[in-house]
Amino acid sequence: MKLTDILLGRRLANRENTQQKIGWFAGVPAMGLDGLGSSSYGPEAALTILIPLGALSLAWIGWVIGPIVALLAILYLSYRQTILAYPSNGGAYTVAKDNLGAGASLLAAAALMIDYVLNVAVGISAGVGALTSSVPALHPWTLELCLGILAVVALANLRGTREAGWLFALPTYLFLASFLGLIGWGLVKLAMGHADPVIAPPPLHHAVEGAGLWLLLRAFAAGCTAMTGVEAVSNGVGAFREPVVREAHRTLTVICLALGLLLAGIAAVAHGYGLGAMDQTQAGYQSVLSQLAGAIVGHGPVYYVAMGSLLTVLCLSANTSFVGFPRICRLVALDDYLPRAFAVADRRLVFSAGVLFLTVTGGALLVMFGGITDRLIPLFAVGAFLTFTMSQLGMVVHWRRKGRAHWHRLALNALGAVTTMIALAIILAAKFTEGAWIVVIAVPLTILFLVAVKRHYAGVARRLAVHEPFVVEETEPPTVLVAYEQRNRMTDRALRFAMTLSPDVLAVHLLRLGGPDEEADVAAVKERFERDIAAPLAAAGLTPPRLITVPAPYREIQGPILDLVEKIDADTPGRSVAILIPELVLRHWWQRLLHGRHGRKLRAALLAHAGPRLMVITSPWRA
Amino acid sequence: MKLTDILLGRRLANRENTQQKIGWFAGVPAMGLDGLGSSSYGPEAALTILIPLGALSLAWIGWVIGPIVALLAILYLSYRQTILAYPSNGGAYTVAKDNLGAGASLLAAAALMIDYVLNVAVGISAGVGALTSSVPALHPWTLELCLGILAVVALANLRGTREAGWLFALPTYLFLASFLGLIGWGLVKLAMGHADPVIAPPPLHHAVEGAGLWLLLRAFAAGCTAMTGVEAVSNGVGAFREPVVREAHRTLTVICLALGLLLAGIAAVAHGYGLGAMDQTQAGYQSVLSQLAGAIVGHGPVYYVAMGSLLTVLCLSANTSFVGFPRICRLVALDDYLPRAFAVADRRLVFSAGVLFLTVTGGALLVMFGGITDRLIPLFAVGAFLTFTMSQLGMVVHWRRKGRAHWHRLALNALGAVTTMIALAIILAAKFTEGAWIVVIAVPLTILFLVAVKRHYAGVARRLAVHEPFVVEETEPPTVLVAYEQRNRMTDRALRFAMTLSPDVLAVHLLRLGGPDEEADVAAVKERFERDIAAPLAAAGLTPPRLITVPAPYREIQGPILDLVEKIDADTPGRSVAILIPELVLRHWWQRLLHGRHGRKLRAALLAHAGPRLMVITSPWRA
């Protein structure tokens, strides 16, 4: 357990829970890495769609990024309201459950869970992809790097959200400072008329086609990937310290404001310096943010600090999933739609079942795709926007129920619902054949699984439910059978225990358990039992246990004992039967390999097959 | 269990044991495949050492094979005697234990066990190697073929020695018939003066060096690999039906006679037709037996039948290990030097722990070496000849104890001991640097392991031993604690059970097991317990159980319950404590994922840590 303490920290008591809560400063790195990191690939993805426009794309970039920033603003304002209305947890699942019913809440939960799982694989592999394209020597280690980062993020989160937040604070704020600074400096230079880039981006070619509506919509859909991760704060409200709403609002504000400034700033600087996306498959490829930094400050130390912090933020963007996923799973599990283990706080007060599930599935996806999950990116925004829509719709119903005084809030969430729904439709249409269809299949399958789990729990609960008053039918002590191979300290103790429970004790000795070549001298066994145990007890005036010998023709203990129990049940109706199995408790796991499993097999068989009036008693003896 | 029945056959009762015994006809394929198959690589290995002699090797081949056949004859006669003297099991372990003491028996056991494990990997990969060199298209599937054959042999032996014997009878007797026929026909042709081979072997070049003693000794050592597997019959005597000695003698006779005829015949035909070994690394390589068959009958159907049966026999030569290894392990385990599982007959009356161990280690060796285990061949004969020597030495002591009347038997075994010891010395010297040193290390390590196992068992037995008469210190029923979460059918049954065991029943309810956010309304729990359980019982004139609520600050059940047990122990000295854990018994293993492991964890912790006066009771409730 020493190693666990070092890796995970000491265990925490329930009352230490409040000390594990975070404020906005740790909240931004804990929940915002996904959202902030996506500022690098959102505009890039949009500009990549615009490549056919060549130089003409500069004229249209504002028309693509503008609506995205507007949508972000709407989402920001409506999620502020959600946090205020649901200060314990404002995730899409809760909001939909409260206002739209169980079906809608399962839809939101499934979409969000799939989104979080994908984000782990996509986030890490995108980060490592960016890393290996700047340091090509690392390329052969792609998968190892991915799994290593996954392990670091998982371990940090097993220690707690608070520790993960503090651990990842430095790269996050460094990234914000450097890129906001860079963009600001670029805008100042442009405003002052210095439009000559330090390092000139490759010139944009002439347009090979005109700007059509469908192209712009596709660019918009691609750019919307910048917005995934915005729901994380509402879903992680439970992680914040008091005053919860204020800390959550500040966190959301920092994330959305920074993201909005980055998006708008990137668009403005790209426009000013004439930056466009480059074909990733071509040699000499540079990302838009790399061109942007180069154009503003050249390849000096600032460039490397900025790009380094960007890479770190990208690599760690999976952290958002690790904060959100366990919390959504906990809520779903509390409603019996997921195994109850997801709702249990572990030694660090973390819902570690969710963390571990995310680690395993994320790791499996990374291994399956060899650390290159580009093909999963199209799947990504669908879940997020489906979640947005469900959450906004739920809030609309929420405000309607609250009455007329809240009409302006209702209007805001309605605007959010409509815009995200439109965005979702565009994304689905634009990306359906690229892989978004997988989400369309995966979401219903996930819902089916959730419902199946609920059905199992409901069935068990129904069978367990008791409506009659408590009655006692029998008061006589049970017949106690003691598994008895030969006399030793362990069986002596077992017999003594049995005699405290009931005057009716039977020692059961099985013959030829080891196989046909085993000697079985029944007379000697009986004689020794009589001499060593029965006679001294009788002399002391006590009822001694009786010995029965039973053949074990198939060398297993279960069959003969079950038959015997059935016979006793028939002979003494209304009385229970208890079977006492002496168990050798070993100090080390490997010692188990040296000792038989007869006892454990017998116990399992009795629990699985014996009648309703049976108990299995283990009397431990430490070797 | 349906699948198990199909794969392994129905389970067998102890009394069916005699029907599983085999006669000599099934005994030859079951135990002889190793010995017979080695006729192909023994002479080949000897001739390979003689390659530098070129055409001169023909003059010396008789001087190498002659002593090997003589040694085989000595071994045959002395193992006949061993079987007669030890009709239940005449393996080297038993003989050495009876006559030379524990140390010598462990040496023999370790050598034999290592030999058998190596034989699995080496036998299968040699067979598959021969197969892929005749059918090169199969070469990419080397490892798969090896593992497939391993699986077939393992499965056949899990069904029983009898079934394996019958399954492998056809290729074995086909091999014997075809090669003995071929050699006989070749000798007839040679005797009649037809010394022209149908297909001429490549001409032998001139000698590059003269025949030195060291070269001949090395050739002898290499040829001795033909003798491994001869001890299998003595070690597997227990597999034969009555009259055991006759069937075992016949099996041994068939194997040794056939092997001797093959060795002598190969030498004679090789001499007559001028066959020599070819360099395996050169293109156009043909094995000696392939050249031999080609020289006698050309590449007609007889050639292909003969070579096909040879390949099958080689591939299946691992079977000898599967017959011998589980039996030697059983004997060693009966003496407590190996885990007892090795001594337990399974549902098919097979000692399946040995079969499975052999399968796993053999498979691991094959995977580790990619199915090419040439490098293990030098290790191989060392174990076998060490075993021979120990067994013969044991028999010498045996006859000396029997008295003067047995002096001729003593003389024969003494001759066997001396010759095998000399052969062992030659083999060790000739092959030490090639890998035989590994055996010199592995044997003592294995012995250390065996002794460590024995020491563990002896320690446990010493601590379990009881010398005093049986006494009862307490007669009062124990305090019974019942783990109580909420009232349902399962806890109702548990409380009823508890009340039949003792008037002193405590229902223990733990608070905030799920984490700090769980509601814990102690008053409501107490009130419900009072109303639903305690009040009706009191009204019926019975002593109701008491309810205690205990906080679980670290969300685990073990700590608080262990503290409580300690407290009760201190309050009521001399009385036992029983803890009754209701357990939900689920129909399918995957349902376990949906239910907590609190009960199992609590049970494990109680067994491992609680004081000496504690019982753990499981009351099953089938969901």
Tokens of A32: 């915002």
Please indicate whether, in this complex, the C-beta atoms of B339 and A501 are within 8 angstroms of each other. Answer: no
How far CA A17 is from CA of A7, A236, A349, in Å, comes to 19, 15, 7
**Shortest CA gap A469–chain B (Å):** 6
Nearest to B466 among A340, A488, A542 (CB): A488
Nearest to B614 among A11, A12, A620 (CB): A620
pLDDT band at B53 (very low <50, low <70, confident <90, very high): confident
* A562 in reach of chain B (CB within 8 A): no
Q: Looking at residue A373, what is its pLDDT?
A: 66
**What is the arithmetic mean of pLDDT over B112-117?**
91
Nearest to A415 by CA among A378, A385, A451, A389: A389
Please indicate whether, in this complex, the C-beta atoms of A542 and B464 are within 8 angstroms of each other. Answer: no
**Shortest CA gap A14–chain B (Å):** 5
Chain B hits for A512, Cβ within 8 Å: 14
A362-366, B14-18, B122-126: which has the highest mean pLDDT? Answer: A362-366
Chain A hits for B476, Cβ within 8 Å: 500
How many other β-carbons are positioned within 10 Å of the β-carbon of residue A441?
9
Among A318-327, B290-299, B465-474, whose mean pLDDT is lowest? B465-474
Q: Looking at residue B564, what is its pLDDT?
A: 93
Q: Which of B351, B464, B505, B601 to mutate to test the interface with A (most CBs of A within 10 A)?
A: B464
pLDDT band at A374 (very low <50, low <70, confident <90, very high): low
pLDDT digits (tens, 9 = 90+) for A142-167: 899 999 999 999 999 999 888 888 88
Chain B hits for A472, Cβ within 8 Å: 496, 499, 537, 540, 542
* B488 in reach of chain A (CB within 8 A): yes
Instruction: Give the chain B residue nearest A344 (alpha carbons).
Output: B514
**What is the arithmetic mean of pLDDT over B87-101?**
90
Q: Which of B1, B8, B470 to mutate to test the interface with A (most CBs of A within 10 A)?
A: B470
Peptide bond into B243 cis (omega under 30): yes
Buried b / exposed e along A188-205 (16+ C-beta atoms within 10 A):
ebbeeeeeebbeebeebe
Tokens of B139: 């070469």
Higher pLDDT, B256 or B230: B256
Q: Which of A615, A619, A621, A622 to mutate to test the interface with B (most CBs of B within 10 A)?
A: A615
pLDDT digits (tens, 9 = 90+) for B503-523: 999 999 988 887 777 777 888
Q: Looking at residue A268, what is its pLDDT?
A: 93
pLDDT band at B392 (very low <50, low <70, confident <90, very high): very high
**What is the arithmetic mean of pLDDT over B581-600?**
85
**What is the arithmetic mean of pLDDT over A515-525?**
81
Higher pLDDT, A1 or A42: A42
Buried b / exposed e along A131-167 (16+ C-beta atoms within 10 A):
bbbeeeeeeeebbebbbebbebbbbbbbbbbbbbbbb
Chain B hits for A620, Cβ within 8 Å: 606-608, 610, 614, 616
Q: Which of A241, A464, A467 to mutate to test the interface with B (most CBs of B within 10 A)?
A: A464
Nearest to B500 among A466, A476, A516 (CB): A476
Please indicate whether, in this complex, the C-beta atoms of B595 and A540 are within 8 angstroms of each other. Answer: no
pTM of the predicted model as reported, rounded to 2 decimal places: 0.83
Nearest to A14 among B555, B622, B623 (CB): B555
Q: Which of A89, A488, A501, A580 to mutate to test the interface with B (most CBs of B within 10 A)?
A: A501
Tokens of A164: 């993960």
Q: Looking at residue B256, what is its pLDDT?
A: 95
* B244 in reach of chain A (CB within 8 A): no
pLDDT digits (tens, 9 = 90+) for A289-305: 888 999 999 888 999 99
pLDDT digits (tens, 9 = 90+) for A54-113: 888 888 889 999 999 999 999 999 899 999 999 888 789 999 999 999 999 999 999 999
Q: Looking at residue A139, what is its pLDDT?
A: 84
Q: Looking at residue B322, what is its pLDDT?
A: 93
Alpha carbons B378 and B429: distance in angstroms, whole number: 11
Q: Which of A470, A486, A529, A591 to mutate to test the interface with B (most CBs of B within 10 A)?
A: A470
Residue matched to tokens 């359980």: B533
Chain B hits for A466, Cβ within 8 Å: 487-489, 492
pLDDT digits (tens, 9 = 90+) for B163-182: 888 889 999 999 999 999 99
* B615 in reach of chain A (CB within 8 A): yes
Q: Looking at residue B336, what is its pLDDT?
A: 94
Q: Looking at residue A578, what is its pLDDT?
A: 94
Please indicate whether, in this complex, the C-beta atoms of A618 and B603 are within 8 angstroms of each other. Answer: yes
**Shortest CA gap B393–chain A (Å):** 28
pLDDT band at B457 (very low <50, low <70, confident <90, very high): very high
Instruction: Give the chain A residue nearest B531 (alpha carbons).
Output: A469
Instruction: Give the chain A residue nearest B574 (alpha carbons).
Output: A500
Mean pLDDT of chain A: 88
- Specify whether the CB–CB gap between A614 and A576 falls below 8 A: yes
How many other β-carbons are positioned within 10 Å of the β-carbon of residue A79?
27
Q: Looking at residue B5, what is its pLDDT?
A: 80
Please indicate whether, in this complex, the C-beta atoms of B500 and A475 are within 8 angstroms of each other. Answer: yes
Q: Looking at residue B276, what is its pLDDT?
A: 86
Nearest to A208 by CA among A54, A14, A428: A54
Q: Looking at residue B447, what is its pLDDT?
A: 96
Task: List, as ranges, residues 426-455 from A with C-beta within 8 Å of B.
Answer: 453
pLDDT band at B375 (very low <50, low <70, confident <90, very high): low
Among A400-414, A535-549, B90-104, B588-602, whose mean pLDDT is lowest? B588-602
How far CA A617 is from CA of A482, A611, B392, B616, in Å, comes to 9, 15, 53, 6
Alpha carbons A572 and A5: distance in angstroms, whole number: 53
A617 strand-pairing partners: A580, B617
Chain A hits for B594, Cβ within 8 Å: 339-340, 453, 456-457
* A620 in reach of chain B (CB within 8 A): yes
Residue matched to tokens 């502020």: A80
- What backbone torsions phi and psi does residue B339 show, to the nearest 5 degrees? -50, 145
Alpha carbons B388 and B115: distance in angstroms, whole number: 12
pLDDT band at A529 (very low <50, low <70, confident <90, very high): very high
- Using a 10 angstrom Cβ sphere, with 0-12 exposed, 13-18 middle and 19 or more buried, the burial of residue B535 is middle
Q: Is A507 helix (H, G, I), strand (E, B) or coil?
A: strand
pLDDT digits (tens, 9 = 90+) for B18-48: 888 999 999 999 999 988 988 888 888 888 8
B480 strand-pairing partners: B505, B578
The 3-state secondary structure of B539-590, one letter per residue: HCCCCCCEEEEEECCCCCCHHHHHHHHHHHHHHCCCCCEEEEEEEEECCCHH
pLDDT digits (tens, 9 = 90+) for A254-311: 999 999 999 999 999 999 888 888 877 777 778 888 889 999 998 889 999 998 999 8
Task: List, as ranges, residues 526-555 from A with C-beta within 8 Å of B.
Answer: 532-533, 536-537, 540, 542, 553-555
Nearest to A37 by CA among A108, A127, A114: A127
Please indicate whether, in this complex, the C-beta atoms of A610 and B620 are within 8 angstroms of each other. Answer: yes
pLDDT digits (tens, 9 = 90+) for A105-122: 999 999 999 989 988 988
Say if residue A30's pLDDT is above 70.
Answer: yes
Please indicate whether, in this complex, the C-beta atoms of A555 and B345 are within 8 angstroms of each other. Answer: yes
Say if residue B1's pLDDT is above 70.
Answer: no
Chain B hits for A477, Cβ within 8 Å: 500-501
Please indicate whether, in this complex, the C-beta atoms of A492 and B470 are within 8 angstroms of each other. Answer: yes
pLDDT digits (tens, 9 = 90+) for B241-269: 989 999 999 999 999 999 999 999 999 99
| Helix or strand (DSSP H, E) at A479 | strand A479-483
Q: Looking at residue B373, what is its pLDDT?
A: 66
pLDDT digits (tens, 9 = 90+) for A535-550: 989 988 888 999 999 9
Global ipTM: 0.85
How many other β-carbons are positioned within 10 Å of the β-carbon of residue A404?
8
Instruction: Give the chain A residue nearest B514 (alpha carbons).
Output: A344
Say if residue B341's pLDDT is above 80.
Answer: yes
Interface A-B: count of C-beta contacts within 8 A: 235
